[in-house]
Amino acid sequence: MQEKFSQILLNAKQDVEKIDNSKDLYDLKTRYLGKNGEITALLRGMKDVAPEQRSAFGKMINDLKVEVEKTFDDKDQMLKQNELNQRLQNEAVDVTLPGNAPAMGSIHPLNIVKNKIINAFCGMGFEVFEGPEIDSDYYCFQALNIPKDHPARDMQDTFYITENFLLRPHTSPGQVRTMENKKPPIKILSPGRVYRADDDASHSPMFHQIEGLVVDKGVSLCDLKGLLDEFVRIIFDKDTKTRFRPSYFPFTEPSVEVDVSCCKCHGKGCNLCKGTGWIEILGAGVVNKKVLEMSGIDSNEYSGLAFGLGIERITMIKYGISNIKTLFESNINFLNQFNRR
């Protein structure tokens, strides 16, 4: 009998040896230890054994059962470990591989420059006010001392929508709208799109301006100079110089055009400044008393200064861009150059 048991154990060990997956091992285990298994059958045969041998026989079967179970358990452990190792190998991730960086957008150069300008003036106490892009003849012209049929209207090639409404040709209506709604002291910037029937390498029918307006007691051309000197040093560099040239705008008196020393040649003369050493950046002046009065501000008590600059122009000078159209073409290669600047 002992021999038979040893044979069963040996067979079980050999059978287990050949198994290479958990499922087959489970099936094999059922064949030995399941309800109808070989060892279960032996246990059932106990009843036919003579009573005096029963205990010894029982112990032998039990020992056999324990041994066979251990064989299966050991194999089961081994298979599970192998399967785990296999999975770890198959599903391994090389954390040292470089990741796939998602394409990052960037801020448009016009917005970069617009934000810089706004930041520069906000640091000097200015607030931002945005006016409408379609505005009336009154706000675009009449309230700025440009009466109907006045030749000064030819200074801008205007897009009219109706006889009385137009795409604003400048952000100066923002001056009037602010003065009508706010008591001095006033210190505002009015950025936004403007429209003119004008189209070449440095002009576009749609472009962006920022208007500045200061109204307070005792404001003078001298304050304008100080303000713009500081602005130019922030936007270009600290050595940039400004120059005022006499000019004419119906809504300022006196009026000036402001040049900066060329940021490319530092005043020596180059293709950017057309050999003059200076580049024009904006129009400005002391607010015409008539404009203050029309907007309900007492011109005996208060005075004002105003300036209007083109964001495209400053961007082109700052980054050396020769054609304004590149700013509107959505060319990714062009725009990517401004990443992280």
Footprint of ligand PHE on this chain (CB under 6 A)? 170, 172, 211, 249, 252, 283-285, 306-308
Q: Which is nearer to ligand PHE, 71 or 172 (CB)?
A: 172
Are the CB atoms for 251 and 283 separated by under 8 Å? no
Dist CA 263 CA 101 (whole Å): 36
Pair 117, 179: CB distance under 8 Å: no
Kindly write down the DSSP assignment for every residue of 168-185, as one continuous string. Answer: -SSSTHHHHHHHHH-PSS
Name the minimum Å distance from CB 170 to ligand PHE.
3
Rounded to a whole number of angstroms, the minimum distance from the CB of residue 281 to ligand PHE is 11
For the CB of residue 194, give the shortest distance to ligand PHE in the complex, in Å. Answer: 7
CB of 132 to ligand PHE, least distance (A): 16
- C-alpha–C-alpha distance, residues 202 and 198, integer Å: 9
Residue 65 or 170 with smaller CB distance to ligand PHE? 170
Are 201 and 324 in contact, with CB atoms under 8 Å apart?
yes
To ligand PHE, the closest distance from the beta carbon of 161 in angstroms equals 19
Closest to ligand PHE by CB, 38 vs 216, is 216
Q: Cis omega before residue 254 (within 30°)?
A: yes
Our CB check for ligand PHE shows the closer of 39 and 214 to be 214
The residue with its CB nearest to ligand PHE is 308
Element (H, E) at 310: strand 303-310
* Smallest distance, ligand PHE to C-beta of residue 211, A: 6
Six-digit token string for 144: 């700025």
- Asked whether the bond before 169 is cis by omega within 30 degrees of 0, the reply is no
Pull the structure tokens for residue 66: 């324990």
Nearer to ligand PHE, 5 or 307 (CB): 307
Q: Which is nearer to ligand PHE, 28 or 186 (CB)?
A: 186
